[in-house]
Each structure stands twice: as structure tokens, then as C-alpha cells.
């Protein structure tokens, strides 16, 4: 199709575009390479099928916003198809007389799909531009008081406009070019849309020469836009197209979203613990910034963001991305970043607002982990800067001195067992199961009621178990989530020694936070334990017929999913099945609007149990008001922390006389 001179010019333009792209893409990967904990690119290559699966299926877009996700998927599939289309178009332009499989069914199918997806992509992109620039959808906005750099706030709209116009023009001019080709070659109903547009050129009585000029101009504009945009890719949000799938390929398998690798605190050569600057973050977490699609899904149910705190997981990644853009050359060349992350990527309040609920990790369509960044920054603030909430210092002191965050005597830890038939491990010597009551289960009044209910169930089922009693000490969960790795490792070492002393391999606990720490964090330290939540264990006992509670619960109940049982462990069914086992037939659980994977955090996780961020609304109040809206008279929980937070909000909202909060174990124990 192209004239000889045009072919020469095109080759030169391609060489210039590729040369500039090599420069900008090299800088992008040099930026990623500045991070700590290098990416294992060999393993990433082996994960290619996983990346391709995400890329081709676009399945991660459907976790939330299914309609918007579906439209985005269509645009993504169309743009993916256009990668092949552009190759065919180059061959068409550069090889005289070339046509892709003319008069062949496969060629007709190819042209049909290109024609249809061209229209779908154009419609989809117009929808997204309308949504952002005209409708100004608030889901795409990061609201005050969240820190969003000026370059990020201005750049997001500019970047979205550039990307949107690029796709519209690229696909649009290619579609117009196809209609000119149809007008020249004759109507082709394998390209229905292009054929319909070609009638316009016929109506305008365009000559063959004019049609040829139109085809040439459209070809140059469509492919010229690709060549012009290619070097800009690393600066653009459109980089998520390939960086998102790559993010899944390089990701390390985590035992749980909040479980980090164990620090070597004895390393004499270590100069930094945690992350103070960009280069302290692992390479994968720098890649997160390039993978971010800026869709803000992660803040849709972020408890801190929803209740008016200064934290938005999305803003964290967006600020990171625009910092790269502003300092691409200098940072890629090895220049040290100047300001600490908590000065520009997010505020100190935002850092301490995170409840580690895991929603941002669960919902991100490109595999970003902003929560992990926050945990690493906390480690720096605690271990390197001694900069953290005063209440956290009190908790650290109480755990270190008394072995529990309540600061109560370790000699009183087994007082809750008085009057009950509870075997103590030091007396029994060994048992199939260790029942781990945890600090709340030993010291908090409501927690003790749960512990007593659990042992009643265990005794009824003749389970071979024992408790550590006064030998039990805090797992170190809160210390680790707040950032005190030293205190966590101290607690973990003490507990692991006790486990080895008594040959403990199986543990039952009603606290999902203890479960996560014992199973996953201790697992990172080499202690592989089989830890089960009490809802799962009770469910097994029910299934085996070892307990048979009465099904006489008639009042309306709603269930609150604990983040560390749900998103962190993936368990949503077991507590509901246990709850249903005591409900009369026909009386179903009334689910809250935000439930299961979309459940809203009670606000206690990540150390927030022990200190309060006073900006905005309290998270537990936000959640309990949702429970009130269901009309249920009983809120059922399966977590000690959730119990404490729900009980508090029950009183604050004035529902202490009309509603009650109970654990699933209490409901079962009362009916056997």
C-alpha cells in the first residue's frame, strides 16, 4: 500500500521510536532495580502462564465493580487484539499486494473480530472518559484529608486524558482506514461496521485517488500514534497493561497478607530495618507503583479512608508513581531519594490508621500490596526512629513486662479456668491439641466467656487437649503489626520453646490474630504448626456428630466477618455453618451489605486495638451501624478483637438494651 518513499520514512520513524523507547523503558527497570530484595527473574519467567492468564482473562477486574470491570475487560481484550492487528497493518503497508488471508474463512473471522472490537473499544473508552471528565465519578477521586502530591493530583487527570485520547485516535483512525480500504476494494460484510462507514465515502462521491489518500493518512495516524506513544509508556498509567500481569509473575507467595519475612536482627552489617526511603522497599513493591491502574478500588472499603482518616492505599501507590515520573532519570541513575516516605508518600497518621484488614491486597486487580508498604514503614519508625503513638509504647512495655498487652499479672493468666475441667499442659504433659486462649481469652471479661464456651464444647466432644495456662504468653501479633519486630521475635521464641517442650503440633484458637501469627508468622521462623480456628474445629465436631446442639435460636441474627479469618485465612463458610447449626430451620442469617470478601473491618487490627486515631469517624461505629440497619437483634462474631469493638459500639450507639453481641462458641455451648 505504501509508496517506496513512505516505507523508508516509516522504517526511520520505527528506529527512532524504538531508540527512545529503549531509553525510557531502561530507566523504568533501573528504577525498579533500585529496590531491596531483588526480583528473581528466573522464577518470574516460570510464572509466565500465571501472568498470561491474568492478562488474557482480565479476571481480577471482576472482584468488585463488575459492570465497570466488564467494560474495562472488553477494552483490554480489544487493545490486546490490536497488538496483532498492528503487525498485520504494518505488513499490509510495507509489502505490496499483501492482504491477510484473502477469500479465506480465517481471514474473514479475523476481520470480523477486529471490526466488532474496534467499535466496542471506542464505546468503552468514551464511557470511561465520560465517567472521569464529565460525570466526575467520585470513585475515581482521592478525597481530603489524604495526602496526594500536586504532581499526582494534576497528573492523574492529564494522564487519563492522554491515554484515553491515544486509544480513541489509534483505534478510530485504524477503523476509518479500514472503511477506506473497503470502499476501494468493494463492500466486505465480514467488516460490517467498516462497510457501513464506507457508504459515507460513496455518498460523498470520493474518487479512488481520494480514497487512497484517506487510507494512507489513516494508516499513518493509527500506527504513528503507536510509535509516538511507545516511548511515553513508562510515564503513563497505560503501563499497567503489561506491568500488572508482570506484578503477578514476580510476586512472592505470602502465608497471609500481613506476614512479612523475618528480619535478621543480629546482622551486624545491617544499616536499615524497615523502609524509610524508596530504595529500602523491595523491588516488587517499586513495581507496584508502575502496575497501579489508579482505579481506587483499594479505597472503596478501606476502613481508614471510609471513616475520614488520612489514609488511601491508592494515593500511596499514585504518589509513588508520580515520584518516579518526576525523578526518573536521577533515581534510575542511582541518586538517593531525599525525604522519608512518611513525608511525601503518605502521612504519619495514615501509617498508623491502617488496620491491616487486607482489603487493598484482596481487591487490587494488578496485585499491588500497599498494606505491606505501610508495615515496612512502621518497622522503620519503630526500630530506627522510635517514632510511634505513645499508647503503642505502653503496649510494648506491657507485653515485654507482663506477657500481655493488658498489663495484667502473668500469674493470673489461667484464672479463667478456675471451677472448670480444663487440663493444664504442665500437669498433663502432652495432648493432641493445644487450646490457645490468647491474651483476650485469658484477661478480657468477654474473651473469658468465649474461652469457657470453647472448653465446654471440647469437653463435651472428649477432645484430647490442654492449655498452657500461666506458661502461655502473647504471640506478639500486635507488636509485629505495629512494627516492633524485636519484641515480636522475643515473644515468638519464648512460645516456640514451649511448643517444643510439650511437643505441640496442633493448636485450636478462637482468635484469628493469634491464628495468623502462630500459623504464618511463626512459620516464617521455622515453626510449622497446624493451627485451626474454633469455628472450623467446631464445624468438624458437628460434622462428626461429636456435639449436637439444640436448634432453637429464633431471633434475627447477623454475622460480622473478621478480617483475619476472612481475607487473611479465606474462611467465610465455617462460622456461618456453625451459627446455622443452632438456628431453627427457616431462620436464616441476615447479611450486612458489606459481607464476606467485602466485609468492613471493626477497626482493631494492625495494632489499632491499643491506640485511637481521632480523625473522622470511629471504624467500629461505622460497622455496628450497618449491623443495626439489618434489623437483627444479635450480632455474632468469631474474633476476640471484633467482640470487644462490637460491644463498645453497641453501647456507644445506645443499643445496649436492645441488641447483644455473642461469639459462635457461646451460642453452641449454651445449647449442648
Closest residue by Cα to residue 291 from 335, 243, 329, 330: 243
Q: What is the pLDDT of residues 88-136, one digit of tens each?
A: 999 999 999 899 998 899 999 999 999 999 999 999 999 999 999 999 9
Report d(CA 141, CA 118) in Å as an integer: 29
Q: What is the pLDDT of residues 4-56, one digit of tens each?
A: 999 999 999 999 999 999 999 999 999 999 999 999 999 999 999 999 999 99
For residue 425, list its beta bridge partners: none
The reported pLDDT for the residue numbered 1 is 82
Q: Is 355 exposed, middle or buried (0-12, 13-18, 19+ CB in 10 A)?
A: buried
Which residues fall within 8 angstroms of residue 536, CB to CB, at 6 or more apart? 571, 574
Mean of the pLDDT values across residues 311-324? 97
Report d(CA 455, CA 421) in Å as an integer: 8
Report d(CA 15, CA 21) in Å as an integer: 10
Give, as one character, the DSSP assignment of residue 415: G
- Residue 658: CB atoms within 10 A of its CB come to 10
Report d(CA 422, CA 455) in Å as an integer: 7
Strands (E), 516-643: 530-533, 557-559, 634-637
Among 175-189, 494-508, 555-569, the minimum mean pLDDT is found in 175-189
Closest residue by Cα to residue 76 from 367, 365, 369: 365
CA atoms within 13 A on the CB side of 663: 31
Whether the CB-CB separation of 473 and 403 falls below 8 Å is answered with yes
In angstroms, how far apart are the furthest CA atoms of the chain? Answer: 100
Confidence of residue 203 (pLDDT cuts 50, 70, 90): confident
Residue with cell 476494494: 185
Whether the CB-CB separation of 475 and 438 falls below 8 Å is answered with yes
Whether the CB-CB separation of 480 and 436 falls below 8 Å is answered with no
Whether the CB-CB separation of 436 and 507 falls below 8 Å is answered with yes
Closest residue by Cα to residue 465 from 437, 497, 498: 437
pTM metric for this prediction = 0.95
Report d(CA 314, CA 181) in Å as an integer: 45
Amino acid at each position: 500500500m505504501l509508496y517506496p518513499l513512505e516505507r523508508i520514512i516509516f522504517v526511520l520513524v520505527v528506529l527512532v521510536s524504538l531508540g527512545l523507547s529503549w531509553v525510557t523503558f531502561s530507566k523504568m527497570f533501573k528504577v525498579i532495580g533500585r529496590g531491596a530484595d531483588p526480583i528473581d527473574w528466573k522464577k518470574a519467567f516460570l510464572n509466565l502462564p500465571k501472568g498470561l492468564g491474568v492478562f488474557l482473562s482480565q479476571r481480577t477486574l471482576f472482584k468488585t465493580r463488575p459492570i465497570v470491570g466488564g467494560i474495562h475487560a472488553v477494552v483490554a481484550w480489544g487493545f490486546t487484539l490490536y497488538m496483532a492487528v498492528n503487525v498485520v497493518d504494518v505488513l499490509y503497508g510495507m509489502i505490496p499486494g499483501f492482504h491477510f488471508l484473502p477469500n479465506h474463512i480465517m481471514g474473514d473471522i479475523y476481520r470480523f473480530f477486529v471490526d466488532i472490537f474496534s467499535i466496542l473499544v471506542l464505546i468503552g473508552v468514551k464511557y470511561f472518559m465520560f465517567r472521569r471528565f464529565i460525570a466526575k465519578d467520585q470513585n475515581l477521586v482521592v478525597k481530603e484529608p489524604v495526602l496526594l502530591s500536586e504532581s499526582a493530583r494534576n497528573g492523574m487527570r492529564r494522564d487519563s486524558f492522554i491515554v484515553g485520547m491515544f486509544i480513541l485516535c489509534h483505534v478510530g483512525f485504524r477503523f476509518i482506514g479500514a472503511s477506506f480500504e473497503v470502499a476501494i476494494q468493494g463492500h466486505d460484510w465480514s467488516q460490517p461496521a467498516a462497510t457501513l462507514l464506507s457508504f459515507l465515502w460513496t455518498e460523498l462521491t470520493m474518487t479512488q485517488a481520494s480514497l487512497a489518500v484517506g487510507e494512507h493518512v489513516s494508516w499513518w495516524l493509527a500506527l504513528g500514534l503507536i510509535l509516538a506513544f511507545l516511548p511515553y509508556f513508562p510515564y503513563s498509567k497505560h503501563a499497567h497493561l503489561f506491568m500488572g500481569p508482570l506484578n503477578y509473575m514476580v510476586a512472592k507467595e505470602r502465608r497471609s497478607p500481613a506476614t512479612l519475612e523475618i528480619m535478621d536482627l543480629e546482622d551486624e552489617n545491617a544499616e536499615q530495618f524497615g523502609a524509610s526511603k524508596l530504595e529500602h522497599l523491595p523491588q516488587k513493591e517499586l513495581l507496584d507503583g508502575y502496575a497501579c491502574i489508579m482505579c481506587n478500588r483499594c479505597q472503596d472499603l478501606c476502613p481508614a479512608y471510609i471513616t475520614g482518616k488520612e489514609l488511601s492505599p491508592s494515593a500511596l501507590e499514585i504518589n509513588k508513581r508520580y515520584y518516579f515520573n518526576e525523578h526518573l532519570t536521577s533515581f534510575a541513575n542511582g541518586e538517593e531519594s531525599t525525604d522519608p516516605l512518611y513525608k511525601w508518600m503518605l502521612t504519619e497518621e495514615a501509617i498508623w490508621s491502617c488496620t491491616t484488614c487486607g482489603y487493598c491486597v484482596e481487591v487490587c486487580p494488578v496485585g499491588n500490596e500497599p498494606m505491606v508498604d505501610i508495615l515496612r514503614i512502621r518497622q522503620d519508625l519503630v526500630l530506627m526512629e522510635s517514632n510511634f503513638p505513645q499508647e503503642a509504647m505502653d503496649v510494648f512495655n506491657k507485653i515485654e513486662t507482663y506477657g500481655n498487652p493488658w498489663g495484667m499479672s502473668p500469674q493470673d493468666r489461667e484464672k479463667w479456668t478456675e471451677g472448670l475441667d480444663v487440663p493444664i499442659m504442665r500437669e498433663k504433659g502432652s495432648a493432641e491439641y493445644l487450646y490457645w486462649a490468647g491474651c483476650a481469652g485469658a484477661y478480657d471479661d468477654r474473651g473469658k466467656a468465649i474461652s469457657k464456651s470453647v472448653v465446654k464444647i471440647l469437653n463435651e466432644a472428649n477432645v484430647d487437649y490442654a492449655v498452657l495456662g500461666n506458661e502461655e504468653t502473647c504471640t506478639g501479633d500486635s507488636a509485629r503489626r505495629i512494627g516492633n519486630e524485636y519484641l515480636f521475635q522475643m515473644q515468638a521464641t519464648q512460645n516456640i520453646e514451649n511448643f517444643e517442650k510439650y511437643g505441640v503440633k496442633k493448636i485450636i484458637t478462637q482468635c484469628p490474630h493469634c491464628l495468623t501469627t502462630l500459623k504464618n508468622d511463626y512459620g516464617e521462623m521455622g515453626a510449622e504448626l497446624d493451627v485451626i480456628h474454633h469455628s472450623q474445629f467446631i464445624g468438624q465436631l458437628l460434622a462428626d456428630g461429636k456435639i449436637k446442639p439444640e436448634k432453637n435460636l429464633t431471633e434475627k441474627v447477623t454475622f460480622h466477618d473478621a478480617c483475619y479469618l476472612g481475607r487473611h485465612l479465606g474462611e467465610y463458610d465455617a462460622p456461618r455453618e456453625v451459627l446455622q447449626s443452632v438456628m431453627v430451620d427457616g431462620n436464616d442469617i441476615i447479611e450486612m451489605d458489606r459481607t464476606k470478601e467485602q466485609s468492613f473491618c471493626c477497626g482493631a487490627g494492625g495494632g489499632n486495638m491499643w491506640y485511637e486515631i481521632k480523625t473522622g469517624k470511629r471504624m467500629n461505629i461505622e460497622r455496628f451501624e450497618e449491623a443495626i440497619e439489618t434489623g437483627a437483634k444479635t450480632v455474632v462474631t468469631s474474633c476476640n478483637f471484633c467482640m470487644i469493638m462490637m460491644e463498645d459500639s453497641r453501647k456507644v450507639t445506645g443499643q445496649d438494651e436492645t441488641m447483644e453481641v455473642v461469639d459462635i462458641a457461646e451460642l453452641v455451648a449454651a445449647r449442648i
